[in-house]
């Protein structure tokens, strides 16, 4: 039976891919768990439209991400925190702190795009990774003391 996958399924295929699977597997597992739907001509047209729309959104999102990275690499983001006397922070810098610093310079990012190699618990210059699916870029943030 041919089905259209609605999600990535291990050893079967990727989202929106049309695959041939045994009837029992389709009717007993994939379709009841909303992992796939039958590949009728109407469903195929609907999925093709949705895939085209998603491709356009992905392309515009990639351009937006590249512009955001360019803006943030020009100058490090500054995050103000209150450290103790030794320069250690009372709590680590979180994704929300980076989002606030980015929005202060006019860049909109989300928490799931931010990857910390390790928790940032000291004042100083640190490198974090921003990820947008396949594309990754490292940016520098400056953790400075509030005055």
The two three-digit tokens of residue 90, written as one number: 């009372």
Strand runs (DSSP E) across the chain, as ranges? 2-5, 18-20, 36-38, 77-81, 114-115, 124-132, 135-145
Q: Is the pLDDT of residue 147 over 80?
A: no
pLDDT of residue 132: 82
Q: Among residues 35, 61, 87, which one ends one of the domains?
A: 61
Note whether 107 and 118 are same-domain residues: yes
Note whether 78 and 9 are same-domain residues: no
| Residues 6+ positions from 22 with CB-CB distance below 8 Å | 1
pLDDT digits (tens, 9 = 90+) for 86-123: 888 888 999 999 999 999 888 888 888 899 999 999 99
* Structural domain count of the chain: 2
Note whether 57 and 67 are same-domain residues: no
Q: Which domain holds residue 100?
A: 63-145
CA distance 107 to 114: 13
Note whether 70 and 123 are same-domain residues: yes
Q: Classify residue 11 by its DSSP letter.
A: T
Q: Cα dihedral sign for 75, 79, 83, 88?
A: negative
What number is the average pLDDT over the span 68-78?
Answer: 86
Residue 86: φ, ψ to 5°? -85, -5
Q: Is the pLDDT of residue 63 over 70?
A: yes
pLDDT digits (tens, 9 = 90+) for 128-146: 999 887 788 999 999 998 8
Pick the residue with more confidence: 70 or 30?
A: 30
Note whether 20 and 48 are same-domain residues: yes
């Amino acid at each position: 039976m041919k089905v259209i996958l609605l999600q990535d399924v291990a050893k079967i295929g990727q989202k929106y891919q049309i695959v041939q699977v045994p009837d029992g597997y389709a009717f007993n597992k994939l379709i009841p768990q909303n992992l796939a739907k039958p590949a009728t001509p109407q469903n195929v047209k609907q999925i093709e439209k949705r895939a085209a729309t998603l491709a356009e959104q992905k392309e515009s999102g990639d351009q937006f991400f590249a512009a955001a990275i360019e803006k943030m690499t020009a100058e490090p983001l500054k995050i103000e925190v209150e450290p103790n006397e030794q320069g250690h922070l009372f709590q680590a810098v979180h994704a929300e702190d980076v989002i606030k610093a980015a929005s202060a310079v006019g860049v909109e990012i989300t928490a799931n795009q931010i990857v910390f190699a390790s928790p940032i618990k000291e004042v100083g210059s640190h490198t974090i990774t921003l990820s947008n699916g396949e594309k990754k870029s490292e940016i520098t943030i400056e953790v400075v003391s509030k005055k």
